[in-house]
Amino acid sequence: MSGDLPKDARFATRAVHAGLIPDPYTRGVVPAIHQATTYVQPAPGDFVEDYDYSRSANPTRTALELALGELEGGLGSAFASGMAAEHALITAHCTAGDHIVIPDDLYGGTYRLVDKVLTRWALEYTVVDQRDLDAVEAAVRPGRTTLVWVETPTNPTLKVIDIAGVVERAQGALVAVDNTFATPVNQRPLELGAGAVVHSTTKYLGGHSDAVGGAVIVSDRALHEQVRFVQNAIGAVPGPLDCFLVHRGLRTLHLRMAAHAVNAQACAAFLRDAPGVSEVYYPGSGGMVSFRHPDATRIAGATRIFSLAESLGGVESLIEVPQAMTHQSVEGSAAAVPPDLVRLSCGIEAAEDLVEDLRQALTG
């Protein structure tokens, strides 16, 4: 039972047990999937916690949210997608006329949300290379900057950002970290001073490419309540089955991330000496590798084990060309991606097979 875990339980133990409160009727080790959309009230307005209607709360979602909060060290809220989570956090925290700072290398969907949607409500933004902490500080507008949005490692060139350093330079603005690539196995931003963490739970947390979802985890209860208000008001909530699948994925996260890292390290090592490869990006942990090659499109279509597909973080390996796929929305902006960049999501297959697949794709 999650609430009975020792406070000093290690991450692997918490990953296995977080949020798994036994069913009160059957005592099942794994909680039931609650498909109910509504709940009987003994009297009008008399209901337990938020269980009046499943947009507001659902027991399967609650279990996932408890687990997410446990692993990141905060208060969790689950959403129907990573973009729904981002939208909820930004709209919960920011108001019209606010200014935010975003990285110069980031997921295309995040840029699209900020540039094409939120600017319509007078939100302003500045793009900056957040490895330069002086540049971060210079981009902050005192009294107007309410949010500094961080990705680390960034998507798709895998820049590593000093989270604690950004917090020091943010001048009181909320620092929110997209922790999708690193996962709480490799970093926990709230422990480094960030005020919020977001995830596309579709990726490593779910881990099996079979459930779309997102999450916001915050350290401040007042901000948590604001996020929950937006969650209920807008209604971009995940269904019970998706919550169950993501929660099940969390239980093996630490094992999968170790396997992803072994394979990514092997692929990165091979690519550094591979013919035609000009640059290799790998931060030393996690399962993502990017590289540049003038024949990027051909290579992406020539692999046999790596599937040519968007997304990442599943047990199977994927390959893509971001400029033509996940990052079309940043074309022509300060966050534009070069057309010769290839991004790999290294799965948990045999490392030797992945390396050989890249070899034949590069030389074929």
Catalytic residues: 55, 107, 178, 203
The first and second tokens of residue 25, run together, are 């009727």
Round to whole Å and give the CA distance between 197 and 76.
9
Q: In this structure, are residues 219 and 197 in contact, taking their beta carbons and an 8 Å threshold?
A: no
The first and second tokens of residue 226, run together, are 């604001």
Helix ranges (H only) for 273-320 are 296-300
182-187: long-range contacts (C-beta < 8 A, 24 or more apart)?
Answer: 182/152, 182/153, 182/285, 182/286, 183/253, 183/257, 183/286, 184/11, 184/71, 184/72, 184/73, 184/253, 185/11, 185/253, 185/254, 185/257, 186/257, 186/285, 186/286, 187/152, 187/163
For 312, other C-beta atoms within 10 Å of its C-beta total: 26
Buried b / exposed e across 207-219, counting CB within 10 Å, b at 16+?
A: bbbebbbbbbbbb
Instruction: Based on DSSP, count helices (H) and strands (E) in the chain, helices before strands.
Output: 12, 12
> HSE-up of 117 (CA within 13 Å, CB side)?
14
- Look at the block and give the residue holding tokens 């680390």: 152
DSSP state of 53: B
